[in-house]
Structure 1
Amino acid sequence: MLEFDFSSFPIIETERLLLNRITEEDVNEIFALRSNPEIMRYIPRPLAKNTDDALEHIRIIKETIETNKGINWAIRLKDDSKLFGFIGFYRLQPENYRAEIGYMILPEFHGKGFVPEAVKRLVKYGFEDLKLHSIEAVIDPENYASEKVLQKCGFVKEAHFKESDFYDGKFLDKVIYSLLDN
């Protein structure tokens, strides 16, 4: 079984991006992401109502890293320290050599290729550094933009679960995409 140790937080770079630790100084950007109904439309979680909710989210991210149960990075441009999104392995399954990847960016950064760039680099980190065998992404079947990103990055549709999750008084479908280390 795999064991993870994120005590030495990995900073990852791509051609245009810097993926580093999310801190309390990112609270306004985290709030902007988590309080935006359009961004959160496909994520079955409550909207952040204030910066305290955003700080709580940052605290949960930090705790998840400290307990080696998951790891999330801020997405920043190399020439701008402002967080505009985040990406990470939200659920690690060490017994299965598998992790779930997830991401979110501010709308003004959509359509510029930043998410595929970050996903491809994180997939490389997952397979080479974490020694994962597979990476999955769980998305809403109507989240066509995320589906396109995953397909662009080599993920394949693995399953479509009908009304498998109950949230906010409704049953929701979910689709799982995955990528194997070859």
Structure 2
Amino acid sequence: MIANLGTHELHLLQEKDFWKICNFMVANQDRFKTYFPSTLAQNLTPDLSTRFVKEKTRNILEKEEFVFVLKNTEDRTIDGIFYIKEIDWKKMQGELAYAIGYQIEGKGFTTKVVKALTKYSFEVLKLKTLQIITNKTNISSVKVAENCNFNWIKTLHKSFTPPGSESLDMELYEIYNER
């Protein structure tokens, strides 16, 4: 376990999580279709989720990408998925990405998890820079970045294209390990 948040715990993704990831993604597919289309597409059935989880657990072992799940301590359902991705070990830099379910929206869990993963990134992975990239219309994500002391760096023009949409400008936020 990475962090205990009372009613929820943050864990690295494990192969046994495939069914719960599928349930989580399908239950929240309207929330994830814009900014997490690939993850959603890879988890629409239990068979797809099995492949997804196997690939992601291999990525964790090879230190290419780290995927975490936020589990409800009562019923063990998954209420959020969090990534440390785009890791550049030469620059000691990574990007945080996250998606939470409607069940926990507005309850402060994303901020708590981002703080825990920032600490994990700096203390365990020894990264020097952590990024969050979000669209300015995603007010919740902007607030998370700001509440976790990430600083706005710049606008990344036309850097993300949601399925069936025009390219969007994204905002780059960063936090640095001061140690």
Q: Give the TM-score taking structure 1 as reference length.
A: 0.82
How many residue pairs match? The answer is 172
1:34-92 deviation line (CA, Å, top 9, x unaligned): 34122332335374342223223212211211211111111123444222112231221
CA shift, 1:134, in A, is 0.9
Counterpart for residue 38 of structure 1 = 31
Counterpart Cα distance in 2 of 1:166 and 1:15: 34
Contact conserved, 2:96 with 2:132, CA < 8 A, in 1? yes
The aligned counterpart of 1:14 is 4
Q: Supply the distance in 1 between the matched residues of 2:115 and 2:39 (Cα, whole angstroms).
A: 29
Identity of aligned residues (%): 24
For 1:40 and 1:136, the matched residues in 2 are separated by 22
- For structure 1, which segment, 117-126 or 30-39, has the greater mean C-alpha deviation from structure 2 after superposition? 30-39
The answer for the alignment partner of 1:51 in structure 2 is 46
Q: Distance in 2 between matches of 1:65 and 1:173?
A: 30
Alignment of 1:1-182 (within 5 A): 11-16=1-6, 17-35=8-26, 36-45=29-38, 47-48=40-41, 49-169=44-164, 170-182=166-178
Hey, what's the Cα distance between the residues in 2 that align with 1:83 and 1:30? 7
Q: Distance in 2 between matches of 1:96 and 1:51?
A: 37
**SS in structure 1 opposite 2:106?**
coil
CA RMSD of aligned residues (A): 2.1
The amino acid across from 1:30 in the alignment is I
Structure 1 CA distance for aligned equivalents of residues 167 and 39 of structure 2: 16
Cα offset for 1:167? 4.9
With structure 2 as the length reference, what TM-score do the two structures score? Answer: 0.83
- In terms of mean alpha carbon deviation, does 141-150 or 166-175 score higher? 166-175
**How far did 1:104 drift?**
1.4
CA 1:96/1:21 → structure 2, altered by over 3 Å: closer, same or farther? same
Instruction: Provide the residue aligned with 1:6 in structure 2.
Output: none
SS, match of residue 95 in structure 1: coil
Runs of 4+ more than 4 Å apart: none
Give yes or no for contact 1:33–1:39 (8 Å, CA) kept in 2. no
- SS of residue paired to 1:76: strand
Q: Give the counterpart letter for 2:10 in structure 1.
A: L
Structure 2 spans left out of the alignment, 5+ residues? none
